[in-house]
Structure 1
């Protein structure tokens, strides 16, 4: 990025988008603690707790491809705004249910000490799974559309800066402010984080609807009202699969997400039973390590990429993520766990800023929603698989190991497997591959300026 580009303002629309992301992600941070904490007060079964997370990730398997077609056909501002409205309805309904049905639940510490599980637990677990499924469907369409919207809001030369600031705001709220605040709100009333999230999502929707301009995708008006689902999904799939770099990044992301979610699926049990932290605010506070690292990563990602080159930055991120998870299992104490969370957060966000900016720069606007959805189908669909495997591995591990080692083993397995991916990554996502792809994209954009500038 040139010095002149660095001085360009990001604009009023970007400020609204940033404020919307801040509100929505603060609510998501509250929910990240509230959902798993409620589940851990209903059961100690690692697989059942994992299923709550799986329900929210299943839409990435069955809905992400249709979501891409929708993102490339309809006003992207309207899609994001209405998905926030849908999430308000679901979260508010869940909050009301928790408000009336959570009285008398045992604490997670009491359950771990042998207290009987509550009689109404299965019904509440089912409600959590249903809510997670509905919220996941809205999230798939909203998040896929939001990434396709950004190149219509800021100049393409500013994408790293714009994405970095978005990641900083999102991560600060989602992981740094939200979880500890959620733990405090849980101590007041278990329903309070859910109800607060509904209000924050309403604010987010209002800000999105206030964006000024035309956000209809390039070529959408010429496609007609009839949707050829198979043909349009196929076009996005063929573009991704024929693009060596984007295909390799999608495969890598899928493997990384599968392996990282072996451990993150049961992290609430790890914090409670291995780190011996049974208070909601303690769980929220421990999770701020990842958030602090993510904020730091979002602030330095642009400079790290410029110093190391994009390909080297991605390889360093893979190594850093794998080593952090491995050491979390080997050093099961609060301070090292928090510090390793910081390191992991830095590497995760550097990976995200580099790869999201590359996709926004390399994929033509008319295909951005569909290719992005295929990419996330590969990259995010595996989260559900990793979440289930994590719960199953703990159950299997308990037949051979003490409970604490069964919980630690998923960190060790996930970390070592991530490190092994470096061999594949060095050949496929290096700086030479990235620079060649960017040159081709620049030439194609120069030949089709209407596609490059659509929506700006």
Structure 2
């Protein structure tokens, strides 16, 4: 799907909103994650391992994710991964409330959320050319990247600190709510966003190597 108007339309702003909300959720989760780990273990190695589990997927899956994104509906991918993050962070808050959370479960959830972040941010960038015209692509990319950086690095942490003064679980609850809101925002995007692929030519459709 590709837009034909010259302005940023509904699809772009829905994508921008979803990107901002999901990165706010990432920022809140990154803030609360080591605090929860410290409450579960006195081992600095385990605390560092939990934090590393959140970023490790970028190293492991950044390239494979690009291949997947080129083959599936990008809007659907983002909706699914945001729903997975909502469930993962929501279950973390639930487990913490009932004392079922262990440092290993926390590490697994961190790895799952980090994997979803890798998929979501990669897909978000790949979606931009489908919702804006080529002459506005640079401006659109700048807005998407700004939303990612500001919400993840500059708003998520301070907001997490404020919520923490009210209750330990509130940053996690806020993170889950942000992921859910991002999934809802994506539903405002109309149409499908799968890359169109040309059908491979048959043996009679290929040019002979011996022909110029």
TM-score range, shorter chain: 0.7 to 0.9
* Residue number among 128, 136, 157 corresponding to 2:106 in the alignment: 128
Please name the residue that 1:37 is paired with: 35
Matches within 5 A, 1:66-85: 66-85=64-83
* Residue number among 175, 179, 185 corresponding to 1:207 in the alignment: 185
C-alpha distance after superposition, 1:306-335 (max 9, x if no partner): xxxxxxxxxxxxxxxxxxxxxxxxxxxxxx
Distance 1:142 1:149 in 2: 10
Please name the residue that 1:91 is paired with: 89
Please name the residue that 1:145 is paired with: 123
Distance 2:181 2:15 in 1: 12
Query: Which runs of no fewer than 5 residues in structure 1 stay unpaired?
Result: 1-7, 103-122, 224-456
TM-score in terms of structure 1 length:
0.40
2:32 corresponds to 1:25: no
Distance 2:16 2:121 in 1: 14
Matches within 5 A, 1:358-369: none
- 8 Å contact from structure 1 (residues 154, 162) kept in 2: yes
What is the number of residues matched between the two proteins?
A: 195
Please name the residue that 2:49 is paired with: 51
Please name the residue that 2:98 is paired with: 100
Please name the residue that 2:157 is paired with: 179
2:167 corresponds to 1:189: yes
- 8 Å contact from structure 1 (residues 55, 132) kept in 2: yes
**1:74 Cα offset (Å):** 1.1
SS, match of residue 214 in structure 1: coil
C-alpha distance after superposition, 1:67-96 (max 9, x if no partner): 222211111111111111111111110111
- 8 Å contact from structure 2 (residues 54, 110) kept in 1: yes
- Judged with a 3 Å threshold, the aligned counterparts in structure 2 of structure 1 residues 60 and 169 are, in CA distance, closer, same or farther, namely closer
- 8 Å contact from structure 2 (residues 15, 124) kept in 1: no
Distance 1:65 1:32 in 2: 23
Deviates more, 1:168-177 or 1:20-29: 168-177
Q: Does 1 or 2 have the higher relative contact order (CA < 8 Å, sep 6+)?
A: 2
Matches within 5 A, 1:199-348: 199-219=177-197, 222=199
Greater fraction of residues in helix:
1
**1:43 Cα offset (Å):** 4.5
Distance 2:148 2:61 in 1: 23
- 8 Å contact from structure 2 (residues 75, 186) kept in 1: yes
Cα RMSD (Å) of the superposition?
2.2
Please name the residue that 1:403 is paired with: none
2:154 corresponds to 1:156: no
- 8 Å contact from structure 1 (residues 99, 190) kept in 2: no
**1:204 Cα offset (Å):** 0.4
